Amino acid sequence: MDRSLGRRGFLARCATAAGGLCALDPLPHSDQLPRPALGQGLFDFAPAEDGEREVSDAPADYWDSLSGDRAVCRLCPRECRVADQERGTCGVRMNVGGKYRTLVHSRVCAAHIDPVEKKPFFHVLPGAKAFSIATAGCNIQCRYCQNWEISQFRPEQIPSVEVPPARVIETARGSSCPFVAFTYSEPVVFWEYVRDVADAGNARGVRSLVISNGYIQEKPLRDLLPRLSGVKIDLKGFTESFYRDVCDGELKPVLRTLEILKETGIWFEIVVLVVPTLNDDEGSMRGLCEWVARTLGPEVPLHFTRFHPMYRLQNLPSTPIGTLERIHGYAREAGLHFAYVGNAPGHPAESTYCPGCGKTLIKRVGYTIMETALKGGSCSSCGRAIPGLWT
Amino acid sequence: MAAAAVAARSSPARALGGPGKRGLVAAISCDGDPADFLPGLDSALAAITGLGGPDTWRSLFAPGDRVAIKLNCLSGASLSPRPPLVDAVVRGIRSAGVPAGAIVLFDRTSRELERAGYPIARAADAVRCFGTDALRGGGYETEIREHRSIGSLFTRILTEHATVLVNVGVCKDHDLSGVSAACKNLFGLIHNPNRYHANRCDPYLADLLDHPAIAPKLRLNIVDAIDAQCHGGPALAPPYLFKPRKILVSLDPIAIDRIAWEMIEAERAARGMPALRDDGREPTWLATAEGRGLGIADRSRIAVREVAA
């Protein structure tokens, strides 16, 4: 997410970015309206044009009834037990009279056209555009979340627009986007919307990419994967303590997700945001790299990206480039062929090199593709096959 | 002292009851809904402050205060604080010299308030009533306030308007925290309560109560327990409604919740239902809060003063 924009500005920018092709109604720039100071006896009420703060009321999947109108959610490993009128930890799935509902189906709170490199996908159609959307909510809480202004809010607390699946696909096609990307917040919590958009896209030649924390139960994961073309997993760290203390999540289910991705053969890449002093120690990072090489194989792209102070982690410095380079070295020593450094524009490890002959195959600077030397998914010099989604 | 200076005086901040006031809970007996709740509230405040007459309300509120009254209207009209009770609370606060325009009744959303029988009122010269969601930008601050396990945005009604918080809840079972009376109502002050339901809300409820955004402002706790619910909460579950016929009043949010818990347990026992502990929902956060010096959870150290309506 472009951090220079507030969430409303972000939404409004959608229309600008997509020009006349993006049919989403821009939300008002309420942040730009004059605001009287709040003080004694003076309130600043929301005008009617302050954007919609509506929620959907669609059936949720993956839950079971419990006694007394209670429900247990089976979407993510948290398995929230939810009483009537209450919500799960994600804040977007609610028990209404004993029926579990999703409040975010078709309620888009962020939309933008991004290069796939921004997700990041480095082995997916270089330079291709992805119509990228999100709803409110997340099932974990990373203390450094870059998009907390949408992921850590309930849907009625932030502006959103109703964008039915067919309209998402229409917008993507109209904007020459071969992909829709579900990103920014956490697609797991808007699973039903992802499914419906992916189905609509598959019928009209628009493929779907999911950018996720991977904290999902096996059944909904397996049900979704055949509908998708690629998945990027944010592997937050490699210790349960980091997941518990910094992300309010669990490591083990995420590793299981990665194993399932490998098993099914879908294209996937892994990103690790390196947070100084919290997940950057040699033991856990070497362990992570060795686990990936051993369990998922040496061809899986593994990105180490730079942390910047955000949300509830404001007291740490940005990740030193040297730290990223050190951990990148662990990945190479573990035998991984495609290790990258991210959020460091211009760094040589942003580019893709042929493991066979060392040739620069895709030269990147930030999200920009400077040159490519791929020929039909293989190195143009030595002919080695390069894994990825190249067509 | 000049009259103008008196009019501008704000009552000093008192955190969670203040010295000597902890562990005291007044229980107003209400055989039926009284014609006016104010005399009972006067008696209750006298019982817990040791004062009487006009001094009771003036000991808690001053003309310069800006008072936000947090209601718990999640369960609709059948199990929310009674409007006549809240009206009496407002009149009591006004009797201390607080102008009507400085008083706000609020909950998370205007819709919840309306469903519970509180018409939305925005006029600046009268008591106002609206949800946090009525404010521009969603109604919450934009900067996270951290304290212990809590990292949340607070309603601007609390942070930008109120100098004093009055907490008016109901007495009901809660599927996760065990008891929802005074403290659980405070979850409605933050944008992300769903993040704090794990481990029976322990220590989150204690940490929120202790939060610098709340503790210095929380002045008075009232629990409408004329009707209560012993199971199936927090939503309304009619089979589990019962009638304690009490209004609880305390400066101590922990002690008042301990008494609400006792009421719920008594009704569950009378119905042959398991205790909350045996149901996996013992409100352990009360002991955690007591351990942090936020109030009294030890029943043997709590005195209940019965007063007439």
- Chain B residues near any Cβ of chain A (below 8 Å): 66, 74-75, 101-102, 109, 122, 124, 128, 130, 133-140, 144, 146, 151, 156, 160-161, 174-176, 191-192, 194-195, 197-198, 231-235, 237
Q: Looking at the DSSP assignment, which residues form a beta bridge with residue A363?
A: A371
Whether pLDDT at A69 is above 90: yes
Q: pLDDT-derived band of residue A44, with 50, 70 and 90 as boundaries?
A: confident
Whether pLDDT at B107 is above 90: yes
For B63-92, what is the mean pLDDT?
97
A4 touches chain B (CB under 8 A): no
pLDDT at A48: 57
For B93-122, what is the mean pLDDT?
97
Whether pLDDT at A26 is above 90: no
Chain A residues near residue B128 by CB distance under 8 angstroms: 43
Q: pLDDT-derived band of residue B274, with 50, 70 and 90 as boundaries?
A: very high
pLDDT at A38: 40
Q: Do A42 and B124 touch (CB under 8 A)?
A: yes
Of A33, A39, A85, nearest to B74 by CB-CB distance is A85
Looking at per-residue confidence, does B144 or A47 come out higher?
B144
ω into A301 cis (within 30 of 0):
no
pLDDT at B20: 54
Whether pLDDT at B76 is above 80: yes
A50 touches chain B (CB under 8 A): yes
Q: Which of A51, A61, A212 minimizes the C-alpha distance to A140?
A: A212
pLDDT in tens, A339-366: 999 999 999 999 999 999 999 999 999 9
Q: Residue for token digits 């059948």?
A: B78
Average confidence score pLDDT of chain A = 90
pLDDT at A54: 87
pLDDT in tens, B238-271: 999 999 999 999 999 999 999 999 999 999 999 9
Whether pLDDT at A11 is above 60: no
3-class state of residue B63 by DSSP: coil
Rounded Cα distance, A308 and A311, in Å: 10
pLDDT in tens, A129-184: 999 999 999 999 999 999 999 999 999 999 999 999 999 999 999 999 999 999 99
A38 touches chain B (CB under 8 A): yes
Chain B residues near residue A69 by CB distance under 8 angstroms: 232, 235, 237
Q: pLDDT-derived band of residue B106, with 50, 70 and 90 as boundaries?
A: very high
The C-alpha of B106 sits at a distance from chain A's nearest C-alpha, in angstroms, of: 13
**A303 token code pair:** 């990105």
Q: pLDDT-derived band of residue B9, with 50, 70 and 90 as boundaries?
A: low
For A105-133, what is the mean pLDDT?
97
Tally A–B CB contacts below 8 A.
103
Whether pLDDT at A32 is above 60: no
pLDDT at A52: 59
Whether pLDDT at A43 is above 90: no
**ipTM for the complex?**
0.87
Whether pLDDT at B74 is above 50: yes
Of B136, B176, B231, nearest to A35 by CB-CB distance is B136
Of B101, B161, B195, nearest to A89 by CB-CB distance is B195
The C-alpha of A22 sits at a distance from chain B's nearest C-alpha, in angstroms, of: 25
Whether pLDDT at B192 is above 50: yes
Residue of B nearest to A7 (CA): B137
Rounded Cα distance, A36 and B158, in Å: 17
pLDDT in tens, A368-387: 999 999 999 999 999 999 99
Q: At what angle do helices A191-204 and A165-174 cross, to 10 degrees?
A: 50
The residues, any chain, with a CB within 8 Å of residue A182's CB and separated by 6 or more, are A132, A133, A134, A190, A194, A197, A208, A209, A210, A211, A212
Residue of A nearest to B131 (CA): A45
pLDDT at A53: 73
A146 touches chain B (CB under 8 A): no
Q: Do B197 and A153 touch (CB under 8 A)?
A: no
Rounded Cα distance, B75 and B52, in Å: 35
DSSP A225: G
pLDDT in tens, A176-213: 999 999 999 999 999 999 999 999 999 999 999 999 99
pLDDT at A357: 98
A214 touches chain B (CB under 8 A): no
Count how many residues are written for chain B: 309
For B48-56, what is the mean pLDDT?
91
Q: Do A84 and B66 touch (CB under 8 A)?
A: no
Chain A residues near residue B79 by CB distance under 8 angstroms: none
